[in-house]
Amino acid sequence: MRKLPSAPTLPAHPFDARDDGDKLKEECGVFGVVGLTDAANFVALGLHALQHRGQEAGGIVTYHPDHGFTSARRFGYVRDNFTKASLMGTLPGSIGIGHVRYSTAGSKGASEIRDIQPLFGEFSDGGVALAHNGNITNADALRKELIERGSIFQSSSDSECIIHLMARSLQRSIPERMKDALRRVEGAFSVVAMTRTKLIGVRDPVGVRPLVLGRSGEGWVLASETCALDIIGATFIREIEPGEMVVISAKDGLKSFRPFDSRASRFCIFEHVYFSRPDSILGGRSVYETRAQIGVELAREAPVEADLVCPVPDSGTPAAIGYSQESGIPYAMGIIRNQYMGRTFIEPTEQIRNMGVRLKLNVNRALVKGKRVVLVDDSVVRGTTSRKIKEMIIEAGAAEVHFRIASPPTAWPCFYGVDTPERSKLLAATMSEQEMRDWIGVDSLRFISLDGLYRAVGEATGRNPEAPQYCDACFSGEYPVAPSDMIDKGFALKAAE
C-alpha cells in the first residue's frame, strides 16, 4: 500500500482570515454608479457588500466637472477606509467606480499600492478608470509585446494590459478603444469602467465571472453581485450577458453592444458553491436555495447513519440544511464561528499561526459528545483545515465523524481570477477519495458528483460532457479558454480521454 503523504506545507504569511490557504479565494469585486449624487458613498456601500470577494484592499475613483478625476486606494477593509467622513469632499461627483481585491501572494506594503484598482489612464479623448474582475490568461505575452513596443507599466496587475492596449488603439472614442483592447485579451474578465460621463460594463465572451445591472432612481448601477444592489436600495434589472458591453450615461441612458464573436456561456459554477453571497441571485436562482439543493443532492448520493448534521461555518450552512432536510438527520450548530475575530488582532507569531482554525472556530462540546456527526463543508482544497476540524470534533468526544463536501474534488487550478494553489498542492490531484479519507482521518468522506452539482444548479439531466453548461475546470480539468501563459510555462492540460 502506498504511503500517504504528510500535510502539505503552508506558505509563511501573516495570519489572516483566509483559512490558512485552504479555501479558494475570489480575487476581486467591482461596482459602479452613474447619475447618483455623491456617487462615492454609494460605491463604498456597494464595495462593503462585496467585501467577501476581496479583503486585502479597495479603491474608488469618481469624476466631477470642477475637480476632474479623484481617487482613493487603501489596504484593508472598506468599513475602515471609506467612511462618509473620509469621503466627504475628497471624492466628489455623480459617477464613480470601485474595486475590492485579494493579493495572491506576499505581504502588503507601500510598493504594492500601485496594484490597487481602479487603474487610470489619460488618453487624447479623455481619461478612463477601469476595474477588472477575472484574470487575463495571455497577460504575460501581451505585457512582453507592449513593453517591447514602448509601454511603461506602473503595476504588476494583468489588468494594466487593457489600459495600454486601449492607448494603442486607433479608435477615437473610449468605448471603441476598449472594444479593440478586449478583443486582444484572453481569459476571464468582467470590467467596470468610467469616463467623465459614461459608465461601461463588459463581460468576456463566455461570461466566466458575474456582472449585473441595476437602477436606483434616475441612476444606473453595475455590480459583481445582486447583494451589492440591495445595500443601496437599487432594483435588479438583469445580468450583463456573456460577450456584451453596455455604455451608460445620465444623458443617453443605456446602449448595448456585442463586440465579440458569439460563444456558448461558461459561467463559473463555483460561484454557486462558494464565491457569491448566499443572498445574491445568479441566473435567476437564489444562491442560498441552490446551496441547499446541493445538500439535498449530496444526501441522496452519499447517505450515512448519523445523529447530527453540522455545517462547517459559514459556507457549509445552506448545504448542511439541505442535507438534514433530505436525510431526516437533525441539523445542529456543532461548530461555532467567532464572528468578531477580524484580521490580525495579536502578533502573528508561528505559535499563533499554528492555532489557525481554533482562532476562528470552536466545537459545541455538549452537543457533539458521543454523537455520530456529519460535517458538511463547501470544498476541500489542501485538506489541512478539514483535518484540523476533524481533530477538534474528536477531541470534543464525537463518536464518529463523516465529511460530506458540497462540491466535487478540486483537482485542477483556476486561471480565471481565483487564487488557487498549484496543482501539486491540491489534495484531490494526488489522492483518491479513499486516500483523502484516510489522510484526513474521518470515518467516511464523500463529495457530490459533478452531475449532482449540475442538477442542483438547475440542469435536470446533469452535465453535458460534449458541451458543459458551466466552467468547471477546477473539477474536470477542462478549460473553456486555454491558459496560454501557463501552457508556455509548462502547465500540462488534461489529456483527451
**Cβ neighbours around 140 below 10 Å, total:** 16
Q: Do the beta carbons of residue 200 and residue 220 sit within 8 Å?
A: no
- Output the CA–CA distances (angstroms, integers) from residue 350 to 6, 13, 87, 356, in the order listed: 19, 10, 38, 10
- Using omega within 30 degrees of 0 as the cis cutoff, is the peptide bond preceding 451 cis? no
Residues contacting 349, CB < 8 A, separation 6+: none
The DSSP letter of residue 110 is G
3-state helix, strand, coil in the chain (%, to 5): 30, 25, 45
Adjacent-strand bridge partners of 97: 32, 61
Half-sphere exposure of 456 (CA within 13 A, CB side): 32
Cα–Cα distance, 134 to 152 (Å, whole number): 23
Using DSSP's 3-state secondary structure scheme, residue 390 falls into helix
Tell me the torsion sign for CA atoms 459, 465, 469, 470: positive
Containing 296, the helix (H) or strand (E) segment is: helix 287-301
Residues contacting 369, CB < 8 A, separation 6+: 396, 397, 398
* The pairing of beta strand 335-337 with beta strand 361-363: antiparallel
Catalytic residue numbers read 28
Containing 164, the helix (H) or strand (E) segment is: helix 160-168
* The pairing of beta strand 25-26 with beta strand 418-419: antiparallel
Our measurement of the distance from residue 319's CA atom to the centroid of its chain's CA atoms, rounded to an integer in Å, reads 19
Q: Do the beta carbons of residue 131 and residue 193 sit within 8 Å?
A: yes
- Using omega within 30 degrees of 0 as the cis cutoff, is the peptide bond preceding 118 cis? yes
Torsion region of 360: left, alpha or beta (phi above 0 gives left; psi -120 to 50 gives alpha): alpha
Our measurement of the distance from residue 83's CA atom to the centroid of its chain's CA atoms, rounded to an integer in Å, reads 24
* The pairing of beta strand 267-268 with beta strand 470-471: parallel
Q: Do the beta carbons of residue 30 and residue 211 sit within 8 Å?
A: yes
The DSSP letter of residue 115 is G
**What grid cell was written down for 25?**
479565494
Position 30, amino acid: V
CA angle 92, 94, 96 (to 5 degrees): 80
Cα–Cα distance, 419 to 105 (Å, whole number): 9
